Amino acid sequence: MGLFVLRRFGVMILTALCLTFVVFVLTNLEPNLEKLAKTQGNARMSDEQVETWLSNRGYHRPVAVKYGEWLGVLPGYVIEGTDGETRGRCLRGGVDPADAARFCGILQGDWGFSTVFKEDVWKIVLTRLGQTAKLMGWVMAVMVPSSLIIGVLAGMREGSKLDRSLSTVSIVTTATPEYVSGVIFITVFASSAVGLKWFNGSATSAMEDITFLNFTLPVMTVALYGMGYIARMTRASMTEVMTAQYIRTARLKGVSFRNIVLKHALRNALIAPFTVIMLQFPWLLNGVVIVETLFNFKGFGWTLVQAAGNNDIEMLLGVSVVSVFVVLTTQLISDIGYVFLNPRIRIS
């Protein structure tokens, strides 16, 4: 078991390295750097000015070296610019070159500096992630129980009317991406055209204070799309279990239907959805980006959009590190959880 986790950890780190490197390469492509220079410096810079702007800030060096610096395995650059100013990776915020650390990459805890937000990436990630965690937490709290209940109810008697009604609901929700359900929700519950105005169409105020009014719609929007998927998985797993031989055994033992579902079927039926729920996180991340944009909720997803839109290299890298970490951790949890839920593969 320990060895397994260790190996998974190794794979995880390798994946993270590969992914961040890809992001690094893509963001450091020449046209992207040019765009960065023009947004940060001056939109009407000449090609030469762009050139000097970039070389003064150390952008015009081999990608591998820059990546190494970002990681913290190579010493940070110090460049005396053509404009006379000395810039260095570790010299941000007016640190004296003499006292500056030699290495200041992610391994040293230095996530870099956001060119858009003019702040340390680490700080932004922390605050924004906190906001998104609130959203995710509520989404999970709504989505997981309701989808499991729907799935189990639908799957326990395949082909029954209850099954058909609930399956219809879940198939509709899987066909409703967040940007569609969000639009419909806002139209119905928040627009002046319909006039119900039960909820707020924007979740900006939820960043300070979450209320039923301002948070219901974003949470529902994210939850809905994932819900159908998990519910369908649960249903499939449940119907499969309900036709299993051992359920027949239980039935012919005289176990009541209620107890068949609760004692015999449920645990076996929830093994598969558990994995699915965990693997939903990357998907949820998408939903979060869309919803945060749609409802103007300045969380992690919104930050991603801002960073990507402005080629904020270090911010983007920070965002990728975090999301890769989230995705891989959930995969790990899902694997370990699967082993624990399923006695068949648990090893003494």
Partner 1 sequence: MENLTWTGTLGTILNPALLAAAGLFAMAVVLQILTSLVVEPYRAQTLPDGRLSRRGGAIGLIERAPQYLLWALILIVLGYLVGGVVAPYGKAGIVGAISKQLTPVWIALIVTFAASIRYKRRLGLYGKLFDSTVGMIGFGIVMFWVYTAFFSSVGGIIATHDPLSQVSGLKNKLPGTAVPNATDFAMGAHYLLGGDNLARDVFSRMVLGSWEVVKIAPLATMFAFMVGITLGVPAGYYGGKLDTVLSFLANLILAFPVILLFYLLVTPEIVLTGIPSYMAAVLFFFPVLFATVFLNARFRTDPMKRNVILGVVVGAMVWAYLSLISQPGTVMNFLPAAADLFNIPPGILVVFVSVVFVNSPTVFRIVRGLTLDLSTRDYVAAAQTRGEGPWYIMLWEILPNARGPLIVDFCLRIGYTTILLGTLGFFGLGLPPESPDWGSTINEGRKLLSIYPHPALPPALALLSLVLGLNLLADGLREESLRD
Partner 2 sequence: MTEDTPILDIDRLSISFFTRLREIPAVMDFSAKIMPGEALGLVGESGCGKSTVALGVMQDLGVNGRIVGGSIKFKGRDLCTMSAEELRDVRGSEIAMIYQEPMASLNPAMKIGRQLMEVPMIHEGIGEKEAYARALEVVTDVKLPDPERILKSYPHQLSGGQQQRIVIAMALMSKPTLLILDEPTTALDVTVEAAVVQLVKDLGKKYGTSMLFISHNLGLVLETCDRICVMYSGEAVERGSIEDVFDKMRHPYTQALFRSIPLPGADKNARPLVAIPGNFPLPHERPKGCNFGPRCDYFEAGRCDQGVIAMSLVEGDDRHQTRCLKFEEIDWDAKIEAGETKAKAAVGEVVLKMDNLKKYYEVSANALFGGGNTKVVKANETLSFEARESETLAIVGESGCGKSTFAKVLMGLETATDGKILLDNREIQGTAINDRDTGTVADIQMVFQNPFDTLNPSMTVGRQIIRALEIFGIGKSDAERKARMLELLDLVKLPRAFAERMPRQLSGGQKQRVGIARAFAGGARIVVADEPVSALDVSVQAAVTDLLMEIQRKEKTTLLFISHDLSIVRYLSDRVMVMYLGHVVEIGTTDQVFSPPYHPYTEALLSAVPIADTKVEKKHIVLEGDIPSAMNPPPGCPFQTRCRWKSKVAGGLCEREVPPLRTLAEGHQIKCHLAEDDLRRMEPVITIAAE
Residues 143-162 binding partner 2 (CB under 8 A) are 159
Distance CA 280, CA 123 (A): 27
Say whether residue 340 binds partner 2 (CB under 8 A): no
Q: Could you please report the per-residue DSSP string of 151-204?
A: HHHHHHSTTSHHHHHHHHHHHHHHT--HHHHHHHHIIIII-TTT----S-S--G
Q: How far is the CB of 254 from partner 2 (least distance, A)?
A: 3
- In the complex with partner 1, the residue whose CB is nearer, 186 or 270, is 186
- In a 13 Å sphere around the CA of 277, the CA atoms on its Cβ side amount to 24
- Judged by CB, which is closer to partner 2: 84, or 159? 159
Q: Tell which positions 23-82 bind partner 1, by CB under 8 A.
A: 23, 26-27, 29-32, 34-35
Cβ atoms within 10 Å, residue 342: 14
Strand partners, 79: 87
Residue 179 sits in the site that holds partner 1 (CB under 8 A): yes
3 binds, among partner 1, partner 2, none (CB under 5 to 8 A by kind): partner 2
Among 172, 243, 248, 346, binds partner 1 (CB under 8 A): 172
232 versus 264: smaller Cβ distance to partner 2: 264
Pair 285, 326: CB distance under 8 Å: yes
Please give the DSSP secondary-structure letter assigned to residue 105.
S
Site for partner 2 in 236-255 (CB under 8 A): 244-246, 248-255
Give, for 131, the enclosing helix (H) or strand (E). helix 121-156
218 binds, among partner 2, partner 1, none (CB under 5 to 8 A by kind): none
* Of 184, 277, 282, 177, the residue nearest 222 (C-alpha): 177
Question: What is each CA distance from 220 to 175, 257, 300, in whole angstroms?
Answer: 15, 33, 18
Q: Please identify, among the stretches 19-27, 197-205, 228-236, 259-267, the one whose residues bind partner 2 according to the rule CB under 8 A.
A: 259-267
CB nearer to partner 1: pick between 10 and 97? 10
Give the integer Cα–Cα distance in Å for 221 and 166.
19
Tokens of 244: 């299993």
State the Cα–Cα distance between residues 190 and 330, nearest whole angstrom.
Answer: 35
CB 343 → partner 2: shortest distance, Å?
A: 5
Contact partner, 55, from partner 1, partner 2, none, Cβ < 5-8 Å per class? none
In angstroms, what CA-CA distances link 90 with 83, 269, 344? 19, 54, 53
Contacting residue, 132, 147, 234, 268, with partner 2 by CB under 8 A: 268
Interface residues with partner 2 (CB under 8 A) are 1, 3-4, 7, 159, 244-246, 248-256, 263-264, 267-268, 271, 339, 341-345, 347
Interface residues with partner 1 (CB under 8 A) are 11, 14-15, 18-19, 23, 26-27, 29-32, 34-35, 157, 160-162, 165, 171-172, 174-177, 179-180, 182-184, 186-187, 190-194, 201, 282, 285-286, 289-290, 293-294, 301, 304-305, 308-309, 311, 316, 319-320, 323-324, 327-328, 331
